[in-house]
Chains A and B, each alone.
Chain A
Amino acid sequence: GAVVSQHPSWVICKSGTSVKIECRSLDFQATTMFWYRQFPKQSLMLMATSNEGSKATYEQGVEKDKFLINHASLTLSTLTVTSAHPEDSSFYICSAGGPVSYEQYFGPGTRLTVT
């Protein structure tokens, strides 16, 4: 149980275009999902907290107009990287809060490369 999927697993896009990443909880309802970004050889850094039916809470330094987060259902959150630039190239990982409040279940990640 507690499986989280992400789609796509990898994507290459041109600078200036937008990319949407989906995060789904497959066998449980997730009222809260988290989006992390991980640059090569670095740690996971929280970008935003997404609550179903309400606006996401963004961490300091994360542009909310550039990284659009939508959590329209209890099983799906999406992250859209708008007007992507090469410096947005990174590994984006979502996690979903499980039935037990402190547990988190990670998606497999999405490797974004902006050329």
Chain B
Amino acid sequence: GENVEQHPSTLSVQEGDSAVIKCTYSDSASNYFPWYKQELGKRPQLIIDIRSNVGEKKDQRIAVTLNKTAKHFSLHITETQPEDSAVYFCAASVDTGRRALTFGSGTRLQVQP
């Protein structure tokens, strides 16, 4: 089955700096890669996703890049703000047949004011 590895496990940045979180996956059949933000005790919230027919996608301060050859994808957050502090999870799936998500281990991001 799919295996998703995520790094780093914790990340502390100063407000205004950029944050980068990286994930690798093992199953070449995976072609849907969402990123979730989870606050303590809450449900995961989708913040951005990418499918394998594109290499990069951007939404305001958030961007995701995908290298399908190397089987890795990354989340980039620019101009970080204290409210960006949360746990971020990457995930991988196949975009047909309603498949379950395989999650990475999570990154705890702390943005220092």
A interface list, Cβ under 8 A from B: 31-32, 34, 42-46, 49, 91, 93, 95, 97, 101-102, 104, 106-109, 111
Contact = CB atoms under 8 A, between A and B. Distances in A.
B105 interface: yes
Give the contact-size bracket for chain B: 20 to 34
B100 A46 contact: yes
Contacts of A97: 98
Contacts of B41: 91, 109, 111
B102 A46 contact: yes
B44 interface: yes
B43 A106 contact: yes
A93 B103 CA distance: 13
Contacts, number: 48
Given A93-B43, A102-B93, A108-B42, A46 B98 contact: no
B98 A101 contact: yes
Given A106-B44, A108-B42, A43 B104 contact: yes
B45 to A, nearest CB: 8
Contacts of A95: 101
Contacts of B94: 102
Given A34-B100, A102-B93, 6 more contacts: A42-B105, A43-B105, A44-B89, A44-B103, A45-B103, A93-B43
A43 B106 contact: yes
The interface centre, meaning the residue of B43, B51, B95, B97 with most chain A CB atoms within 10 A of its CB, is B43
